[in-house]
Structure 1
């Protein structure tokens, strides 16, 4: 069988069901790897070893009793430290909440754990998930295991490097502007931003613009689909939700279906002022286009379906989010410089300007969806370059934010439209760094998107590409 972390999440679940591997053995294996490697890659902020081992023992009892087992029974996972688990520290990546312990579990986390997964702890995130890097003062910096002098991106950097480093087979992330897809690209794993309303944000998170969604970080498309089968569905108080699948349908089954001949739009030139696409990323985009065309799909060049003004309104909405942080006034000075700067930008907006940003963002989403209506999917890069050096963003918050926009230049528009989008680890640079490509589906179109992504994976397999840490 080889080392246990070589197995995908679904393979681990099958091995547990067949009694070839015990949940306790699997959890112990991963906890030992976390102990050895976490300081190096910065995946976890909090490790819940005792609770995970207790859950593993209970899971093993169900196996031995011959009980009916859920899809991911006994499979270790990890939860981004923006989500709550009752009784577990939730820092939100902020020193202000260093000692905060959640009183309730988020509904989607409940679904994931009810689906059999065992949480090993909370993964690193930047303060309140705002940046596309993962640095804070509550845990180690999240780095890509392909080159630990470089960042794992963000804000789901901890989850992405946990999967890429073989510390879990699958992990939860969230994405409000690229926070699943950018880390997936930097770390060489699959990252799925789900459709708006596909997975509940309840009961605590309220997002008036509808930007933030959950999504998995995984090594395979099938594992990402299994995560979706376990977690999808509305919560008890959601204001909107994606339409459910047919009664007999699953996202996992969609991976086994041929997608048919699709009409796929593509573009590569970023619209963010000052952003430039690295030649090796452009080459990967061209090669992915050629692969899709060889598979029978019709590829059409289009200009980016939005302009620089779309980023302006998005930034307005993004800074508004920083004005509502649950931080007392006397502790504002303890926030990270970037968080304080974003908050200041948001507070400068009048009520009218804030509403105009929300309306303009919604209108942009509608225009983009109208433009893309003729197409079954869209192909574009995830980021303009490979993973950035740890000190690349600098100390000036304004310049830092501009660099973030120029790096993760393609992702946020699909949070605005609410479409599902995936980062696939299709290529590597000449220096061996991962390069992800983004496929975007129709609204609420995860089934078709997963089918297409599975086809790409079958013809351009990436699972056996592993960073050096994998064998240590």
Structure 2
């Protein structure tokens, strides 16, 4: 069973299609591993009976969809008909949807097998997954006294702990990349508009997109290809690269120009201190790429005015959550603060922020245009202890999240693709770097990340629980 759970998604898919493995066999192994790692808080709901029934139907059919028989799990922000969906909130503790969201329905059409719901922060609003109601607290498999990041914390833990080879997440300000970097797996935020489902274009701010979490770059590309195929149309806007992306991970990329920076657009607002381990990982990535003939240089980038802009966008995003006055008395202090602040915005303030966001997008794309890839630290700090974030002072709690992950949200505002990759070990824990691409440049960052992964060699796995 351990060998089966250690297989990559690519190898698992091939073995399932050749009937060397059965979907029921694979799903049983995933369910057993989910039970063994329950204390890590990856899942808020495990739907074992439903998953085994679905797996049996896969085994009785001819392999068809790109994810045929592969176990996945839905982030608890995604509704699946008949399965409790709590959004990490006590306000939705008893909600059981009668219809599936488009992403869940599309994953079914791709012939994946959902084994349950992964834990998330309340309405996905925070970069840590420690909901006070409606969900499990996601813990770092390397040290369960530490949080796993968020808001796709449960999905990242499920992958890192060996329950799943791949898992879908969503990223509106780093919610795929923060937990992936925290627990040492690969997380990919696609370009705005890349995926027909979860494109980022269905909301005025354009921040949140769907993307893959995986143990390897190859598996991230495999899952991205599957996600791209889930609707009968391609990129919502014209893209530089088109699927399939998996072949890009098999060969070294052509000579790239790589920019390296530790500048964060939050530097004007907060005291951003980057941990030496994060700097060491960034330096290792730069040295490794330079050793392969790529041109590596400091990226000249000095953004200004970002902090106030993102605060408005995040508050406005929270204001869209349908919460009654009674609900606001039940939610966490940070959620209530964000919603109330967002509802207090007037049209002029919101439209002004949206216009400023487009200016920031253009300026960032222009600043990064000379580079095929921009390297940054994935996180500024090492994983934080459970309970570290200030829940009583929302302003301070928000600042703590930024100080932990100051290189994340600006990528969403700019609409760029980005990937986090664990690269080195420090004090017994993986430390990751972030690769940012040009708009629509997923193929390039996947190729560069795969090359770094090959140069790095295998990393150890988290200790068994």
TM-score (norm 1): 0.93
Deviates more, 1:231-240 or 1:280-289: 231-240
Pair 1:445–1:370, CA change in 2 (3 A): same
Q: Which residue of 2 is the match for residue 252 of structure 1?
A: 246
Deviates more, 1:145-154 or 1:106-115: 106-115
Q: 1:399-414 counterparts in 2 under 5 A?
A: 399-414=396-411
User: 3-state SS of the aligned residue for 1:316?
Assistant: helix
Distance 1:297 1:205 in 2: 34
Deviations 1:66-102 (A, max 9, x none): x343332111111111112222221111111111122
TM-superposed deviation, 1:446: 1.1
TM-superposed deviation, 1:442: 1.1
Q: Which residue of 2 is the match for residue 286 of structure 1?
A: 283
User: 3-state SS of the aligned residue for 1:150?
Assistant: strand
Q: Which residue of 1 is the match for residue 386 of structure 2?
A: 390
TM-superposed deviation, 1:453: 1.3
Pair 1:266–1:192, CA change in 2 (3 A): same
User: 3-state SS of the aligned residue for 2:329?
Assistant: helix
Distance 1:161 1:277 in 2: 24
Deviates more, 1:444-453 or 1:226-235: 226-235
Q: Which residue of 2 is the match for residue 45 of structure 1?
A: 44
TM-superposed deviation, 1:106: 2.6
Deviates more, 1:325-334 or 1:219-228: 325-334
Aligned with 1:440 (options 426, 436, 440)? 436
Aligned length in residues:
460
User: 3-state SS of the aligned residue for 2:296?
Assistant: strand
Pair 1:165–1:234, CA change in 2 (3 A): closer
TM-superposed deviation, 1:12: 1.3
Aligned with 1:72 (options 67, 73, 82)? 67
Deviates more, 1:67-76 or 1:6-15: 67-76
Distance 1:370 1:205 in 2: 21
Q: Which residue of 1 is the match for residue 163 of structure 2?
A: 167
Is the 8 Å Cα contact of residues 110 and 230 (structure 2) preserved in structure 1? no
Distance 1:11 1:348 in 2: 51
Q: Which residue of 1 is the match for residue 299 of structure 2?
A: 302
TM-score (norm 2): 0.94
Q: Which residue of 1 is the match for residue 183 of structure 2?
A: 187
Distance 1:239 1:37 in 2: 37
User: 3-state SS of the aligned residue for 1:161?
Assistant: helix
User: 3-state SS of the aligned residue for 1:45?
Assistant: strand
Provide structure 2 residue ranges, at least 5 long, that are not aligned to the other structure.
Answer: none
Question: Superposition RMSD on alpha carbons, in Å?
Answer: 2.2
User: 3-state SS of the aligned residue for 1:334?
Assistant: coil
Pair 1:237–1:21, CA change in 2 (3 A): closer
TM-superposed deviation, 1:454: 1.2
Deviations 1:357-377 (A, max 9, x none): 111111111111111111111
Distance 2:230 2:9 in 1: 24
Deviations 1:205-244 (A, max 9, x none): 9411111000111001111111111111686899944549
Distance 1:14 1:150 in 2: 36
User: 3-state SS of the aligned residue for 2:147?
Assistant: coil
Q: Which residue of 1 is the match for residue 5 of structure 2?
A: 5
Distance 1:244 1:338 in 2: 39
Q: Which residue of 2 is the match for residue 91 of structure 1?
A: 86
Distance 1:393 1:454 in 2: 34
Provide structure 1 residue ranges, at least 5 long, that are not aligned to the other structure.
Answer: none
User: 3-state SS of the aligned residue for 1:3?
Assistant: helix
User: 3-state SS of the aligned residue for 1:468?
Assistant: coil
Distance 1:57 1:171 in 2: 21
Aligned with 1:351 (options 343, 347, 354)? 347
Aligned with 2:371 (options 355, 370, 375)? 375
TM-superposed deviation, 1:455: 1.1
TM-superposed deviation, 1:105: 2.3
Deviations 1:141-174 (A, max 9, x none): 1011000000100000000001001111111100
User: 3-state SS of the aligned residue for 1:148?
Assistant: strand
Aligned with 1:118 (options 110, 113, 118)? 113
User: 3-state SS of the aligned residue for 1:55?
Assistant: helix
User: 3-state SS of the aligned residue for 1:380?
Assistant: strand
Distance 2:401 2:151 in 1: 11
Q: Which residue of 2 is the match for residue 277 of structure 1?
A: 274
Distance 2:88 2:238 in 1: 29
Pair 1:354–1:199, CA change in 2 (3 A): same
User: 3-state SS of the aligned residue for 2:37?
Assistant: helix
Distance 2:13 2:322 in 1: 39
Pair 1:438–1:45, CA change in 2 (3 A): same
Pair 1:239–1:271, CA change in 2 (3 A): closer
Deviates more, 1:383-392 or 1:16-25: 16-25
